[in-house]
Amino acid sequence: DADVTQTPRNRITKTGKRIMLECSQTKGHDRMYWYRQDPGLGLRLIYYSFDVKDINKGEISDGYSVSRQAQAKFSLSLESAIPNQTALYFCATSGQGATSGAYNEQFFGPGTRLTVL
């Protein structure tokens, strides 16, 4: 089974709808991240969480919210979806390791392709 799973894998929705994307991990990592990927723009960080009680905004958090329901679960919500939120969304995790930079090794889920019409 995959270490980082995302549901749904594909979603088509309409402008104004509320959407939730879910992420689960079995790696036992404390840190979780949500990114979006757009052609020509690479990956951009939306939110990140150090643990259940510590959630931080990333580079492009406007229009998004998150919830860390448990160490293993991190969900991303679009309160009122708009067409320019059409993108590929990735969840990632990282954990403590032997070196100071261990958190830089992030493990990504397979992605959710979201289309907002």
Binding site for another protein (CB under 8 A): 4, 31, 33, 40-45, 48, 50, 56, 58, 90, 92, 94, 99-101, 103-111
**Which residues does 52 contact at the CB level (< 8 Å), separation at least 6?**
68, 69, 70, 71
C-alpha distances in Å from residue 17, one per residue of 4, 68, 116: 26, 22, 9
Which residue, 17 or 51, has its beta carbon nearer to another protein?
A: 51
Which residue, 9 or 14, has its beta carbon nearer to another protein?
A: 9
- The amino acid present at 95, given as its one-letter code, is G
Question: What's the min distance (Å) between Cβ of 80 and another protein?
Answer: 27
